[in-house]
Chain A
Amino acid sequence: MVTVAVPQGIGFCATADLSRPGLQKAAERALALAELTQKLGVYEGLGIDTLMPAPSAASSWRSPIARVSHDRKDWLALAAQEAGQVRQDSRIVYWSVSLQEQSTEQNIYIDGRLVSDQKFLFIDPLTSATAMVDGVCQVRHLGGRATAGCQQGGDEQIERVGFVGSCQRAADEAIALASAPACPTGHLDIVLMPDQMMLQIHESIGHPLELDRILGDERNYAGTSFVSLDMFGSYRYGSPLLTVRFDPGQHPATQPELASYATDDMAHPAKEQILIDKGILKRPLGSPLSVARAAKRGFELDSVANARASSWRRPPMDRMANINVDPGASSLDEMIGSIEDGVLMSTNASWSIDDSRNKFQFGCEWGQRIRKGRIDGLVRGPGYRGVSANFWRSLDMVGGPETFQVLGTPNCGKGEPNQGVRVGHASPACLFRGVEVFGPAA
């Protein structure tokens, strides 16, 4: 991607022709588009230093890798072995195993000077199984992207997600779910495990705090936000137990989270910052450029390094990176023990939220009934719905570090033209009171 900034304008041209004439033509095209933006754009009064600031020093990032073998013949054997070990069972109608590797090298030059040099490695192991029991079908995923279990790193990710033996475990759990009663309907207490908290954080904290949404850029596609510019600094987003951080990878407890980096895709150096502090909204997910646009509307906000692009083919915009909830002090047993009537939910299966990121409805693969402070069997198809602005205020207990997991997904979609990026979310298990819970059709 060649980016050209002029006073009050910025333009982009993506090319895979890296020859000198090819880059020259791309630069000329980007300049023409920058001039178009200068004439008819939203950046009135903003100079080149704001549109494309050049950091004073170069930054570097390497995904932490314990070991990696790029000879993938061993993967073929491993996948075949994993899939082949599933026991014959007429209730299992389908199962699958996959291993995926993606590596990315990124160099950002500004005015001919290398300002960011980053190398990322992503290994994504995944298994799934589908069971049919007495006409009831259930799917269980274990491992990577479908369970939000992605991190950066090498082949050690295969062991981390417990890949070996996971296909049989997915099959056993799918049978157990298909044999379980439907999740009950009613206003109940819920415990969300980290792999569902991940989706909850993503949809009802991450997206609403994206400053470009608040500025209206996404209104034709991904939507707006119930958060407005005047809320930062004072709005009670959640209960005092809720603290949320933008953590691009410096925190030892969350290494090697999926969207960690040294700089964002405009070479802004990244550092950890608090978004919500003890329930109070502090800052948006806004790049320096978006913050400058907000300032023109009279709102002085702090920025984060979140100008991110899905690939060399798309311009950067405000995105989540790693958005994490701080662990609390409650054990999982204490949370379950405090519930008279409720459901524990894990592994997202369905997600939908309104265009202001307020009214949501989420479903999970895995549910466990809680009665009188104890787990009381499985339930299938658990779902819950609520309103973001109220939901986080019903947060009543936050799990301790022993419940904390570092997770991530490669599938966050947004933008025109559309972009899908990786995001990380680390979270403990959390307890919410009095939530509208539902199950599948009987």
Chain B
Amino acid sequence: MTKEIDLDWFASLVKPFLSKAKSTEIISLNGQVDQCDFVRLNSARVVQASKVDYISIGMGLRKGAKSVSCGLSVSTDLRSARQQLSDQLNLLRSWIDHVPDDPFMERWAQPSQSQDDSVLAASAVEEVIADLSDYARGLDLVGLYASGPLASFMATSDGHFHWHRRLRSFFDFSVYALKDKAIKSSWSGEAWANAEIKKKIEDAKGQLEILFKPPVTMPPGGHRALLSAEAVSDLLGLACWGGFSARAHLTAQSPLAALRSGEKDLSGQFTLEEDLEGFGIPRVQELGYIRPDRTTLIEKGRFSNWLCSPRTASEFDVTDNSASGGESPAALRLTGGDLEPSDAFDLLGDGIYLSNVWYLNYSDRQSGRFTGMTRFASLLVEGGKPVAPMVPMRFDDSFFSVFGDQLIGLGNRVERFDELSTYGARGIGGIASPFALVDRMQFPL
């Protein structure tokens, strides 16, 4: 076993280090500790198995109106880690007198402390993969298993100390029929839940049959569309690219500028909030400010709040709402509507079911226009019945259409999709959303 990085280890690293701050300085540390087993599967067999121990730290130094920062990863060996922190602090000290005063320097919050180090024991990776191989026998299953403790922390020399660590596990997978046709699914939580995962694999297997039919090519143009809850969550994820950031709005970079100005609105059924509490995200941000449990962003189709960091507030002379510097929602919840999931295909009638969407990007950011592809088990539906899988189609439409005047309704069941990205360290948060029925969505290719 490699060394487990817990609260005691962290405290013994940072507390003596932060005490080195001179009376004119404030030293800050924030970051993550990611200790994770990863196993990639292809055709239900292991392609790569890796263990990662990663401590990522952002270090800041303030002195009067000057500020410098750096990023580093440190050793899990305490002595080495102490030396690395000291070396970086010396580097920052050599720089700080040479930087100009920061005219928009934000103030630290009043010092606060919180800690949560309740970590369940992880299952042995060998046993998990053996079980998965058994459940997936005979299936063309592709996916990623990840499990291990994940911590986030923030501490300063003037008294902040926050440490939150939990066991986090997920299994993100697809069961393939032919070529690019598959059922996509995932499980995420803390302790490995064998029975749940086995059922999810069986459920995916049970939905495969239609994907063996020859795919149909739909004509380009407008089609009635049913977006699964996961597809809706992906579109909401795209909206986070500047949609709710005060800085993005104030620098004319937001795709939802017309929503904020009142020039356009979304459907009155559309209410969206940042939901830190629902996704168990620590409320403290990097300056020690405590974010609200929930922030309503869009209420009944109208812009309600942006996420404004103290930095943006200082630079643009507006009022902040304790947002983190990135001003992107860490967790979203779209309020459900009144459509029954069991009625969804009947309500669609003739049209396209988008099980999953892929490679979203803005095609015209200023007008909130986006593009992307259908993927996995997207289907042609006729008379309320799924008929055949589709050759992937490109859509190009706007938030103001899909979630605006073309939105017929939202499902009454809100499904939760945890953040599963693993660039750098593992992500946290996620998006909860219902399915959406859209009268006309544009598919140009």
Interface contact A352-B369, CB-CB below 8 Å? no
For this complex, into which size category does the number of interface residues on chain A fall? 35 or more
- Report chain A residues within 8 Å CB of B43: 42, 216
In the assembled complex, which residues on chain A have CB atoms less than 8 Å from the CB atom of B179? 224
> With A17-B75, A40-B130, A223-B358 given, is the CB distance from A132 to B54 under 8 Å?
no
Contact present for A216 and B142 (CB under 8 Å): yes
State which of A30-38, A56-64, A274-282 sits at the interface with chain B.
A30-38
Please indicate the chain B residues that have their CB under 8 angstroms from the CB of A221 in the complex.
144
Number of A-B residue pairs, CB cutoff 8 Å, is 216
Q: Contact flags (1/0) for B69-91 with A, using CB distance below 8 Å?
A: 00001111100100000000000
Q: Give A18 to B53 CA distance when docked, in angstroms.
A: 12
**Segment touching A, from B95-103, B279-287, B290-298, B319-327:** B95-103
Interface-lining segment among B205-213, B268-276, B346-354, B371-379 = B371-379
Q: Which of A215, A355, A385, A438 contacts B180 (CB 8 A)?
A: A355
Q: Which residues of B contact A217 (CB under 8 A)?
A: 40, 42, 47, 142
Do the beta carbons of A361 and B396 come within 8 Å of each other?
yes
Partner of A33, one of B95, B125, B392, B393: B125
Q: Could you say which of B2, B130, B445 contacts A359, with CB atoms under 8 Å apart?
A: B445
Question: In the complex, how many residues of chain B place their beta carbon closer than 8 angstroms to a beta carbon of chain A?
Answer: 75
Asked whether, in the complex, the Cβ of B40 is within 8 Å of the Cβ of A436, the reply is: no
Contacting A at CB under 8 A, from B2-49, are 2-3, 36, 38-40, 42-43, 45-49
Contact B371 A350 (CB under 8 A): yes
Report B335-375 residues with CB < 8 Å from chain A CB. 358-364, 366-367, 369, 371-373, 375
Q: Which of B133-166 contact A (CB under 8 A)?
A: 133, 142-144, 146
B176 within 8 A of A: yes
Given A25-B2, A354-B373, A413-B423, verify A361-B445 contact (CB < 8 Å). yes
Shortest Cβ gap from B38 to chain A (Å): 5
For B42, the chain A residues whose CB sits under 8 A away are 42, 215-217, 219
- B77 cross-chain contacts in A, Cβ below 8 A: 17-19, 22
Q: Assess whether A130 is in contact with B253, with CB atoms less than 8 Å apart.
A: yes
Asked if A374 is at the interface of the complex by the 8 Å CB criterion, the answer is no
**Closest A residue by C-beta to B132:** A40
The stretch from A8-16, A146-154, A263-271, A401-409 touching chain B is A8-16
- For the complex formed, measure the closest distance between the CB of A352 and the CB atoms of chain B, giving whole angstroms: 4
CB of A231 within 8 A of chain B? no
Segment at the interface with B among A247-255, A312-320, A425-433: A312-320
A427 CB, nearest partner CB in chain B, Å: 22
Considering the complex, give the chain A residue whose CB is closest to the CB of B396: A361
Do residues A219 and B182 form an inter-chain contact, with CB atoms below 8 A?
yes
| CB contact list, A336-358 vs B, under 8 A | 350-356, 358
Residues of B within 8 A of A219 (CB): 42, 142, 174, 176, 180, 182
Complex contact B252–A36 (CB within 8 A): no
Question: Can you list, as one digit per residue, whether each of B229-260 has a CB less than 8 Å from chain A (1) or not (0)?
Answer: 00000000000000000000001110000000
Q: Is B438 on the interface with A (CB-CB < 8 A)?
A: no
A440 touches B369 (CB 8 A): yes
Could you say which of A40, A136, A314, A317 contacts B366, with CB atoms under 8 Å apart?
A136
A381, CB-defined interface residue at 8 Å: yes
CB-CB contacts of B106-138 with A at 8 A, as 1s and 0s?
Answer: 000000000000000000011001100100000
Q: What are 20 pairs between A and B in contact, CB < 8 Å?
A: A10-B48, A12-B49, A17-B3, A30-B51, A36-B129, A40-B46, A76-B100, A80-B100, A139-B253, A219-B142, A220-B142, A220-B143, A220-B144, A223-B180, A351-B361, A355-B359, A359-B393, A361-B363, A413-B423, A417-B52
Known: A413-B423, A420-B423. 7 other contacts (CB 8 A): A14-B52, A17-B80, A19-B80, A40-B46, A219-B182, A314-B52, A418-B421
| Chain A interface residues (CB < 8 Å from chain B) | 10-19, 22, 25-26, 29-30, 32-34, 36-37, 40-42, 72-73, 76, 80, 93-94, 130, 132, 136-137, 139, 215-217, 219-221, 223-224, 313-315, 317, 350-356, 358-359, 361, 363, 381, 383, 385, 387, 413, 416-420, 436, 438, 440-441
